[in-house]
Amino acid sequence: MSIVLNTSPLAKPALIKRGAFLRWLRKTHGILGLWGAGLGLLFGATGILLNHRSVMKLPLAQYEKSNIELQLPAVGFSNPEQLAQWLRGELHLTKPANKVEAESSKKVTWNGLQVQQPALWKVDFHTAQYSVTTEYWVGNQFVSVKRQEANVFAFLSRLHKGVGMNNGWVLLVDSLAGALIILCMTGVLLWTKMRNSRLTLVGLSGGSILLAIIFVIQSS
Sheet holding 63-71, edge to edge: 63-71, 142-150, 130-137, 120-126, 99-103
Q: How many helices (H) and strands (E) does the chain have?
A: 6, 7
Same domain, 145 and 67: yes
Do the domain assignments include residue 207?
no
Backbone angles phi, psi at 122, to 5 degrees: -125, 130
- Among 89, 118, 150, residue at a domain's last position: 150
Same domain, 47 and 112: no
- Among 117, 150, 183, residue at a domain's last position: 150
User: Whole domain around residue 46: which residue ranges?
Assistant: 10-60+166-195
H or E segment at 186? helix 167-194
More confident residue, 104 or 40: 104
Please compute the mean of the pLDDT values over residues 120-129 and round it to a whole number. 94
Do the domain assignments include residue 87?
yes
Instruction: Say what the pLDDT of residue 140 is.
Output: 92
Do the domain assignments include residue 171?
yes
Band (1; pLDDT cuts 50, 70, 90) = very low
Comparing C-alpha atoms, which of 155, 152, 136 is closest to residue 144?
136
Residue-wise pLDDT for 195-204, tens only, equals 666 667 677 7
Same domain, 48 and 21: yes
- Model-level pTM? 0.66
Q: What is the number of structural domains in the chain?
A: 2
Would you say 124 and 136 are in contact if contact means Cβ atoms under 8 Å apart? Answer: no
Same domain, 115 and 140: yes
Same domain, 141 and 110: yes
Band (2; pLDDT cuts 50, 70, 90) = very low
CA distance 185 to 16: 22
